[in-house]
Chain A
Amino acid sequence: GQQVMQIPQYQHVQEGEDFTTYCNSSTTLSNIQWYKQRPGGHPVFLIQLVKSGEVKKQKRLTFQFGEAKKNSSLHITATQTTDVGTYFCAGRGYQKVTFGTGTKLQVIP
């Protein structure tokens, strides 16, 4: 079945440093979504990428979808303490959404 892996599993950064998480799928995806889960909370949708090679930005967050539509990345510039949480990519096949293993981000003030 479809598997979606993320690296790194954990990341500690000093506030102001950049952060990147990478997502890789075992199969080609129709699109990819990114979610953020704050400690004790539930996953909240951030963005969806559909086109091969697509790049989208949301303020300090930059999302990229690979040319082969099998990988994606999320880059945060100048992290803030509010960025703390676990970031999940989610690969969308036909109707099914498979979540990646997640990257837990800790920001040290």
Chain B
Amino acid sequence: EAGVTQFPSHSVIEKGQTVTLRCDPISGHDNLYWYRRVMGKEIKFLLHFVKESKQDESGMPNNRFLAERTGGTYSTLKVQPAELEDSGVYFCASSQVGVYRVGTGELFFGEGSRLTVL
């Protein structure tokens, strides 16, 4: 079974440019989360999709960030225009809805997309 995949693994852009990160969750997982880890600090929640609907986007820092999940499959996170403080590792995670996998509600994380804004 394929895990959560993220693309690109690393992106280096200049301030003011646009970047789009993509996440493919595990097939059948309705819940999809975006998190960000900056400078090795906490893993900060950005938003949560249930299928194609935004369940909670309270963690999105500002309107320069736009997340979509058309059709309830893969998701994209666009940053436009990028600022220096947007640098960090963006993690995507997925989980099944309401069904515990082997008795857990674990999140399955992708490898992350490292964003560097110069």
Measuring CB to CB, which residues of chain A are less than 8 angstroms from any residue of chain B? 1, 31, 33, 35, 41-45, 47-48, 86, 88, 90, 92, 95-102, 104
Q: Is the pair B33, A97 in contact by a Cβ cutoff of 8 Å? A: yes
Measuring CB to CB, which residues of chain B are less than 8 angstroms from any residue of chain A? 31, 33, 35, 40-45, 48, 50, 55-56, 58, 91, 93, 103-112
Q: Is the pair B111, A42 in contact by a Cβ cutoff of 8 Å? A: yes
> Could you tell me the distance between the alpha carbons of A88 and B42 in the complex, rounded to whole angstroms?
8
Q: Is the pair B105, A42 in contact by a Cβ cutoff of 8 Å? A: no
Between B50, B55, B105, B112, the greatest number of chain A beta carbons within 10 A of the residue's beta carbon is seen for B105
**Residue contacts A-B, CB under 8 angstroms, 6 given:** A43-B43, A43-B109, A88-B43, A90-B107, A96-B45, A96-B56
Q: Is the pair B44, A99 in contact by a Cβ cutoff of 8 Å? A: yes
Q: Is the pair B58, A95 in contact by a Cβ cutoff of 8 Å? A: no
CB neighbours (8 Å) of B91 from chain A are 42-43
CB neighbours (8 Å) of A104 from chain B are 40
Q: Given A42-B112, A45-B104, A97-B107, is A102 in contact with B55 using a C-beta cutoff of 8 Å?
A: no
> Could you tell me the distance between the alpha carbons of A99 and B35 in the complex, rounded to whole angstroms?
9
> Could you tell me the distance between the alpha carbons of A102 and B43 in the complex, rounded to whole angstroms?
8
CB neighbours (8 Å) of A44 from chain B are 109
CB neighbours (8 Å) of B41 from chain A are 101-102
> Could you tell me the distance between the alpha carbons of A95 and B47 in the complex, rounded to whole angstroms?
11
